[in-house]
A and B are shown apart, each in its own frame.
Chain A
Amino acid sequence: MAPVATPFFFYLLSGIMLIGGILVITRKNPVHSALALIVTLLAQASIYLMLYAPFVAGVQIILYAGGIMVLFLFVIMLVSIERSMKERQFNSQWVVGMSAATALGGLFIAVYTKGKDIFPDHALSMVEDDNTQKVATMLYGQYMFAFEIASLLLLVAIIGAVVMAKKRI
């Protein structure tokens, strides 16, 4: 199926993502921040869908919005909201913040103006139909070793967390 109103949806989703991101850092209530982060993640999943990467979008929803954010909320709900409401939200380190923001902004402007020359001009081809199969052959064929190393790293992290949390195993 041909895409419909692509620029409109791109700007809509980007706008939702930006507003969500800003709300994450400005809300005083941590639960509200977490909910805003979920909105951002869902909008990001939709952008993956627009880029013909449905598998990545699905994994994004399952892992981030459905898994990790639930654990976030789980922990935040047990924290006393009253105390965290009184805490200072911003440390007034203007100099560091401004310089970091200027560097990032400069990079964005540079990419926006000169991007055509730096990056090769690739038009997206519609490969929606066998996207998942392509990801699978990539992960378990070409990049098998890297994939297994990454999963081993995660296993080590899990065991480490258990060892640190439990006194007697």
Chain B
Amino acid sequence: MHEIIQYIESYLTSDKTPGAAGNMFWALVYIMLVFAGLSVAVIAMNWLERKILAHMQVRLGPMRVGPHGLLQPIADAIKLLLKEDIMPAEADGFVFWMAPLIVVLAAFTVFVVVPFGPTHAITDMNIGILFMLGVSSLSVLGIVMAGWASNSHYPLIGALRSSAQMVSYEVAMGLAVVSAILMTSLNAEGTGTLSMIGIVQAQQAQGEWFIFKFFPLGLIAFFIFAVAMVAETNRAPFDLAEAESELTAGFHTEYSGFRWSLFFLAEYSAMIAVSSIAVTLWLGGWLRPFPNLLSGSTWDLLFSLFPGVTFLLFAAICFYNTARMPKHPLFRIQTIGLAGFGAVLGVIGLVLFVPAVSVRVQDIFWFSTKVAGFMYLYIWYRGTFPRYRFDQLMRMGWKVLLPMGLGVLILTASVALLQQKIWHP
């Protein structure tokens, strides 16, 4: 018993990720935390997307279940779980059954290497970014399998569109990623790294986020990635694979109930995964804004207050809306619930002010905030851009993004070489 406690405690003084330190217990804890966090994020995204889209279109969005529809995702989840699970009679049973599992596995496995902080990752791999791109590219297989196994026309066309789109945008995406990885090698030893934590540490060492590196080269590479990642996750304006007006629902037309909800889960966690890649490669990962310009203990203290203040702000919004709830007795339970939710958020906010907690947690806060920005962008795109036609999509991928990616890669390499050979010999 004593040895077990010692084993658990031995990690606490380590400055490595649990996977790198080889501590099984903490690795399991981190896996569960990441899984729980992702599930909560997907639930929150479900509500936020409907709400924000509705407000963009001057509607109210879900209002009935819970105050401001806060419990709508839970109601949806219960509905999906209780729905009858239908399999088409002519479907290929095994492949039909496997497809959603593969998509979900691919979408969740990539989070093994996502660096929420210098020590807050399940593990740190030497091939981190390669692993993320590789495993997330496996989700195409699941989509193709789903479309084919349904033995129906719309899913097959949807799967064909989806796989063609994902395979062609992967090329441009890869080129953008390579030009960011090239920037990691601009140090004294001249060796770059593929490790997700190493990439962020390289940005810290070079004193700038890669989006601003060799302006505007980093920015263009980031732009290419930002476009390709929307196409890669089959989201609007590149959601031809599930264009409602043409293909009903694309590759998951024949899926219902729980299986469909697995596709939903995978889509949103894939969105979070590609956003984390973008944040890690170009936006400084877990680094707070201006770590070099506004350094010093005063600024450190000020920025460490951000997580707590944010949660207190959420709590204040909850309390404000509690006060505005209708005073009718039918709304009493909802009012109490909203006040309770606000109180929980407030307590979390207060706990985050404790220095010991905030030092450990603020990396996670900055990382999640940046990812949340991308999530908002996704919703914004969906609310504003019209859908592309398929030939436009292909032209965009192969004739615009790919040449741009190649050009940026060559220019980045040349500028980096010049900088190392001439300016700083």
Contact = CB atoms under 8 A, between A and B. Distances in A.
B144 A66 contact: no
A29 B134 CA distance: 27
Given A31-B148, A74-B144, A66 B134 contact: yes
B138 A65 contact: yes
B134 A58 contact: yes
Q: Which 7 A-B pairs have the closest CB atoms?
A: A66-B137, A58-B130, A61-B134, A62-B134, A1-B22, A58-B127, A54-B127
A66 B138 contact: yes
B145 interface: yes
Interface string B187-200: 00001111000000
Interface in A28-45: 29, 31-32, 35, 38
Given A62-B133, A77-B148, A77-B156, A35 B95 contact: yes
A88 B309 CA distance: 70
A39 to B, nearest CB: 11
B409 to A, nearest CB: 14
A73 B22 contact: no
Interface residues of A, number: 30
Interface in B119-152: 125-127, 130-131, 133-135, 137-138, 140-141, 144-145, 147-148
Nearest to A78: B160
Nearest to A56: B127
B315 to A, nearest CB: 42
A113 B267 CA distance: 52
Contacts of B164: 74
Interface residues of B, number: 33
Contact of B145 (A29, A35, A67): A35
A131 B126 CA distance: 8
Contacts of A67: 137, 167, 170
Nearest to B137: A66
B72 interface: no
A74 B170 CA distance: 16
B179 interface: no
A55 B126 CA distance: 8
A58 B137 CA distance: 11
Contacts of B269: none
A133 interface: yes
Given A31-B148, A66-B140, A133-B191, A58 B131 contact: yes
A132 interface: yes
Contact of A132 (B22, B160, B167, B194): B194
Nearest to B139: A66
A70 B160 contact: no
Contacts of A57: 127
Interface in B74-110: 92, 95, 98
- From A1, A58, A133, residue with most partner B Cβ within 10 Å: A58
B130 A77 contact: no
Chain B interface mostly:
helix
Interface of B: 19-20, 22, 92, 95, 98, 125-127, 130-131, 133-135, 137-138, 140-141, 144-145, 147-148, 156, 159-160, 163-164, 167, 170, 191-194
B160 A77 contact: yes
23 contacts: A31-B148, A38-B141, A54-B126, A55-B127, A55-B194, A57-B127, A58-B130, A58-B131, A61-B131, A61-B137, A61-B138, A65-B138, A66-B140, A67-B167, A73-B141, A73-B144, A74-B163, A77-B147, A77-B160, A131-B126, A132-B126, A132-B127, A132-B193
A108 to B, nearest CB: 31
B33 to A, nearest CB: 21
Given A61-B137, A65-B141, 14 more contacts: A38-B141, A55-B126, A58-B131, A59-B130, A61-B131, A62-B134, A66-B134, A66-B137, A69-B141, A70-B141, A73-B148, A73-B163, A77-B159, A130-B126
Q: Which of B125, B134, B163 has the most CB of A within 10 A?
A: B134
Nearest to B148: A77
Contacts of B131: 58, 61
A153 interface: no
Nearest to B94: A32
Nearest to B166: A70
A71 interface: yes
Contacts of A148: none
Interface in A9-63: 29, 31-32, 35, 38, 54-55, 57-59, 61-62
A121 interface: no
A58 B133 CA distance: 9
Interface string A67-89: 10111011001100000000000
A1 B141 CA distance: 32
A70 B236 CA distance: 23
B176 to A, nearest CB: 15
A31 B95 contact: yes
A117 interface: no
A78 B134 CA distance: 25
Contacts of A65: 134, 137-138, 141
Contacts of A70: 140-141, 144, 163, 167
A18 to B, nearest CB: 20
Contacts of B19: 1
A1 B127 contact: no
A71 B126 contact: no
Nearest to A53: B127
